[in-house]
Structure 1
Amino acid sequence: MRREEVLKSIIDAGVVAVVRGDSKEQGLKIVDAVSKGGIKIMELTMTVPNPVELIKEVAEKYNGTDVIVGAGTVLDTETARACILAGAQFIVSPSLDVETLKLCNKYKVLVMPGVMTVKDAITAFEYGVDVVKIFPANLYGPSVISSFKGPLPQGDFMPTGGVTVENLHEWINAGAVVVGTGGSLTKGAKTGDYDAVEKEARRFMDAYREAKGIK
């Protein structure tokens, strides 16, 4: 899938599942549960044991479906390249690393770096970033979107960190083009309750459609 197609799919989906886990096996179960619940964009983080193997397995399993697999918590170019070769269709970082942006541009892969300042956001846009990740979003609250859009009205932003079913509409109403959610979505996995993860994914998608006025 081309970079622009991945971007459109992510924005159309509206919600990105940030998948963390204590093992690769748990990561796989979370992906399955989240997918069944209706969230189709998977950010598989480098904090999961054997994360590149997890990306490869999920990418192969869901090849030809509407599930899009990406890599999260990518800190450097070596990791980004390994994830891309394993099948990641987008890269997410917690901070801004220019060399990682260059690497992703070289491979024509969508990259969403984390920023905390307008200066970092401007740098990201200068390197062709389409969507900037605001992280950790819970340190700011939804009003940060309008604060960023004051000097950067052309910017598209994805808040991640502290996004819940209950406050999702606040982020969408504030102007977020997509939201990322992890702990709130996958908390059931800690006790092995993957049905709860599936139900929470469904609640997230219902909340997103309601916030967007989609019937």
Structure 2
Amino acid sequence: MQPELNLPAPYTPHAGFVAAFAACRMVAIVRGIKPAEAAEHGRAIYEAGFRIIEVPLNSPSPLESIAALRATLPADALIGAGTVLSTERVRDVKAAGGELIVMPHADTEVILAAKLQGLACVPGVATPTEAFAALKCGADGLKMFPAEQLGPEVTKAWRAVIPTVVPLLPVGGVKPDNMGPQLAAGASGFGLGSALYKPGQDVAATRANALAFIAGWSETVRAQGAKA
């Protein structure tokens, strides 16, 4: 076993993110959800076992959905925004009750703005250079995006230099039955998109998809434990 490597800056993750991620290592991404339906779908996702829900800002009236989720769900749910592209939007998300900033890229100004506002931040990275620059600015985890291009071989190579304390979350193309290779390679969890939620689907479908992911995670972890 290789000795644990040191990061270029102290890693002091957001306490709320640490607790929510420990409870469930999958992030529910509800792109396209509308404010009027956010609470009901969010409740179904939470009751299935999820503790982190992300509303991308290219959804209809996303700040209203974030506010609705925060008002509806218990305090141990971490509600945040995805596709956050500017420092101004960081402030908007916080004002709506959001506690998490997720991005498709690794804009260091946005990361720093999130941390200065006391929010958790998981930026998107596609190279080790971006990953370490994001961590130096205080990123709480790293969104490996798009996961379709960053397969298990890349995750394994990254994990050789990125300490295991730092969450690596592949996002893109994740399904309940295909998480095994990435977990075996060193992924910490996943961001879930259209396989969990598609705009217009009913709450029953959201609940069924969420439960399928919880079951898929448990089965994957059990199978990998049996092989160890």
Matched positions, count: 210
Q: What corresponds to 1:16 in structure 2?
A: 27
Matched, 1:169 2:188: no
Gaps of 5+ in 1: none
1:38-59 Cα shifts (integer Å, max 9, x gaps): 2221011101111111111111
* Structure 2 partner of 1:183: 194
The alignment's TM-score, normalised by the length of structure 2, stands at 0.84
The answer for the alignment partner of 2:6 in structure 1 is none
CA distance in 2, matches of 1:73, 1:29: 22
Contact preservation (8 Å) 2:35, 2:68: no
Residue 63 of structure 1: how far off its partner (Å): 4.2
Structure 2 gap ranges (5+) = 1-12
Matched, 1:135 2:110: no
1:156 CA displacement:
2.8
CA contact (8 A) 1:169 1:207 kept: no
**Which structure: greater helix fraction?**
1
Which of the numbers 11, 15, 40 marks the counterpart of 1:4?
15
Per the alignment, do residues 63 and 22 of structure 1 end up closer, same or farther by CA in structure 2, a change over 3 Å counting? closer
| Pick aligned residue for 1:208 from 208, 213, 217 | 217
Task: Classify the secondary structure of the residue corresponding to 1:184.
Answer: coil
The verdict on how the C-alpha distance between 1:144 and 1:11 changes in structure 2, with shifts beyond 3 A counting, is farther
Q: 2:60 maps to what in 1?
A: 49
Preserved CA contact (<8 Å) 2:66 2:80 = yes
Aligned counterpart, 1:77: 87
Select the residue among 38, 45, 49 that pairs with 1:38. Answer: 49
Identity of aligned residues (%): 30
- 8 Å CA contact 2:152–2:182 kept in 1: the answer is yes
**Does the residue aligned with 2:195 lie in a helix, a strand or coil?**
helix
* Distance apart, 1:3 and its partner CA: 2.4
1:36-81 CA distances to partner (integer Å, 9 max, x unpaired)? 33222101110111111111111111144x3221111111111111
Distance, in Å, in 2 between the alignment partners of 1:63 and 1:33 is: 13
State the partner residue of 2:3: none
In structure 2, distance between residues paired with 1:12 and 1:170: 22
